[in-house]
A and B are shown apart, each in its own frame.
Chain A
């Protein structure tokens, strides 16, 4: 099956700093790819390049078959980017944010979908609230509701569980799993390794902007040398890969 996201030789530099260096990977429909790495590894820069927010310094990105640099509008119409710090227009209400999103993506049945999403995100009754009146977790949920409204083929998530309470976390995990089962490809960046281990089919471990390991947890375990590698937890693997370095995938 054709991949929803294809990345070839992605690079991003800020002045002299190379934040992302030569990333190459694909994500298939229904697949959840976990993007893990230490602070400053280049995860957020990678996600922002994939979302078309930052222009890559080199490399190519295809989203649902559309070249992000040549057909950015078609590519962006197929994706949703959910940042760790949700940004809203503080003068639009919750319902108006959904209306705004619906027009941008041409979602004709947005009202029914919007109501269902607000229900799913436990935001029913908050339709007339302004973002400034929402808690941190509610803002995160609104961001997710807006992102899911147009049923994107690719969902890019940067620390999606930040600010959610335990019930919200459980619902969110179920929601993400359901989107993947419905055929969406997910790229999920998080420091919460148990979440990554639970949800992701494959992992991309990056450090210093470079891919240190790519594959399923079992693949990575198998690739790492060492007597106890086979039984190592993701946390142990993460520490070993990012601190000592590992052969590139």
Chain B
């Protein structure tokens, strides 16, 4: 069998076997149910909103301009990244299996390269299909033409990136001289582009009044039609022209240059070919190591992990489960996932506020900082249990290790919950402190007497609610390991797996809400009668009662979950 024949067989057999496996999985009710839910979700969110009834009435000029600019900008960004970002090495990526199976095979490097290019082009075609499904109808009256155009554009960009990586490798092999040539060429192109844009700006200065969309559109159109910017954008516009064609005739008019570009890039890749085996092997090994780390429980980059000091000194004497709390707090400090998410959350919020022109954040801190901190503390109650995962979700992939420890199931569950619970509570209390101390306070007209009692009530209630949320999420991975997998990185794929995850998410939310109901009732029963005597100060009393109920529920749950943990046998839950 020739190499192309072998590759065709490999792909066909792989797809057939994957389909068979997925069909076989559907014999299990949980996957069948997952498939139904996943399909219903996909239909209601995406497919139902698509309109395949023929060409739409047509896109507005403004919309078309925006679409063209976005696509051209993406294409130009890809070209920039190919020449400026990343390392000077071939961009071809092979899996470890491909390295082991194909590299020692009697196959020429050129054949391996063509195999990889074919795979890459298949990947870009899949990307084009998704783009057509989700965007095609909005951007083009002919989804099929949009798909073909997107395939050609994405394929050309893929070939360009590959060729650029080969050229960069060749130049890097020449040392400083090669780097100077590349940087000089890139700088020259960027400089020429900047000069062209500046020239166009001189001809078409930014209008003083850009408040109306029409004025902005007119100015953008004039810029794009000017010789300078037109020349800069020409390659990108050429590339996206077939995808954005408004008619079949326009499509066929735009097609030949793109086909020529595609063919020229293919020839360029073959001519620029460099030895890629060494890089491919190193990348495959790195990916394999990452996969093993993920499978072992947590993706970590050893080189990037800072060996921060443990949170406290762990003595040999004392309750043994404190060792788990200690190690999980170390994990939080060194892996820092939850905190990173939290920081991203804050930075993004600030950036959005700044972009939207809400400068109050930076001027009237007392009016803004308090409510922002309060909002974050409340949001953390919902987001925290998902973001901070130093508990059973992190450790369950190491079930062998946990089960061999001389601890009861209750001890393990309690200690595992404690780390995430303490960290979330610490963040919530810190944010509440910021809100209460730096917010508008009792001087605010509407808050007045409620400021401190309300703050105290939240300080009691929010950590308890988060603890309940953490418990439900941890219980889910122990009680339904097949439905709610722990953090093992390698997640099951397919529509049925997506449906399973959706069901698990809804189930977790429902259980959390049901768990909150008794606490809410107790808070009402305690708080309402007391409000007549204590006024606003009945709030913290009611919150204390509600928090007590929640903590009691969690304590009872820990006892039950501990027993379930002792009986947990993941060997019986392995997917088929």
Verify A108–B317 contact, CB threshold 8 A. Answer: yes
Q: Smallest CB–CB gap between B395 and chain A, Å?
A: 8
Verify B330–A133 contact, CB threshold 8 A. Answer: no
Q: Smallest CB–CB gap between A103 and chain B, Å?
A: 4
A104-B320 contact, Cβ under 8 Å, with A73-B406, A91-B330:
yes
- Residues in A neighbouring B316, C-beta threshold 8 A: 102-103, 106-108, 110
A87-B331 contact, Cβ under 8 Å, with A54-B571, A99-B314:
no
- Assembled-state Cα–Cα distance A104/B318 (Å): 9
Q: Smallest CB–CB gap between B512 and chain A, Å?
A: 29
A103-B569 contact, Cβ under 8 Å, with A76-B405, A96-B330, A130-B302:
no
Q: Is B305 an interface residue (CB 8 A)?
A: yes
The residue that A93 contacts in the complex, of B307, B399, B405, with Cβ under 8 A, is B307
- Residues in B neighbouring A91, C-beta threshold 8 A: 298, 300, 305, 327, 330-331, 334-335
Q: Smallest CB–CB gap between B284 and chain A, Å?
A: 18
Q: Smallest CB–CB gap between B65 and chain A, Å?
A: 51
Which residue from chain B places its CB closest to the CB of A73 in the assembled complex? B406
The residue that B408 contacts in the complex, of A51, A73, A103, A105, with Cβ under 8 A, is A73
The residue that B398 contacts in the complex, of A76, A81, A89, with Cβ under 8 A, is A89
Verify A132–B307 contact, CB threshold 8 A. Answer: no
The residue that B572 contacts in the complex, of A14, A89, A99, A130, with Cβ under 8 A, is A14
- Assembled-state Cα–Cα distance A96/B328 (Å): 12
Verify B404–A81 contact, CB threshold 8 A. Answer: yes
Task: Output the residue of B322, B323, B406, B572 with the most chain A CB within 10 A.
Answer: B406
Verify B310–A96 contact, CB threshold 8 A. Answer: yes
Q: Is A55 an interface residue (CB 8 A)?
A: yes
Q: Is A201 an interface residue (CB 8 A)?
A: no
A73-B407 contact, Cβ under 8 Å, with A91-B305, A100-B327, A103-B326:
yes
Q: Is A92 an interface residue (CB 8 A)?
A: yes
**Number of residues in B with C-beta < 8 Å to the partner?**
38
- Assembled-state Cα–Cα distance A76/B320 (Å): 13
Q: Smallest CB–CB gap between B20 and chain A, Å?
A: 20
- Residues in B neighbouring A51, C-beta threshold 8 A: 403-404
Verify A53–B400 contact, CB threshold 8 A. Answer: yes
Q: Smallest CB–CB gap between A54 and chain B, Å?
A: 6
Verify A130–B320 contact, CB threshold 8 A. Answer: no
**What is the 8 Å Cβ interface bit string for chain A, positions 63-80, against chain B (1 contact, 0 not)?**
000000000111011000
The residue that A55 contacts in the complex, of B293, B335, B405, B569, with Cβ under 8 A, is B569
Verify B300–A100 contact, CB threshold 8 A. Answer: no
The residue that A103 contacts in the complex, of B305, B315, B399, with Cβ under 8 A, is B315
A54-B569 contact, Cβ under 8 Å, with A96-B330, A106-B317, A128-B307:
yes
- Assembled-state Cα–Cα distance A188/B143 (Å): 65
- Residues in B neighbouring A53, C-beta threshold 8 A: 399-400, 403-404
- Assembled-state Cα–Cα distance A41/B365 (Å): 69
Beyond the given A76-B406, A103-B326, A107-B316, please list 10 additional residue pairs across the A-B interface where CB-CB is below 8 A.
Answer: A54-B403, A72-B566, A73-B406, A73-B408, A83-B400, A91-B305, A96-B310, A104-B320, A104-B406, A105-B406
B residues with a Cβ closer than 8 A to A are: 293, 296-298, 300, 302, 305, 307, 310, 314-318, 320, 322-323, 326-327, 330-331, 334-335, 398-401, 403-408, 566-567, 569, 571-572
A residues with a Cβ closer than 8 A to B are: 14-15, 48, 51-55, 72-74, 76-77, 81, 83, 87-93, 96, 99-100, 102-108, 110, 128, 130, 132-133
Which 6 pairs show the lowest CB-CB distances between chains A and B? A132-B302, A103-B323, A76-B406, A77-B406, A53-B403, A91-B334
- In the complex, 26 of the A-B residue pairs with CB atoms within 8 angstroms, ordered by the A residue number, are A14-B572, A15-B572, A52-B404, A54-B571, A72-B408, A77-B406, A87-B296, A90-B296, A90-B298, A90-B300, A91-B300, A91-B327, A91-B331, A91-B334, A91-B335, A96-B330, A100-B326, A103-B316, A103-B323, A104-B323, A104-B407, A105-B406, A108-B317, A128-B307, A130-B307, A132-B300
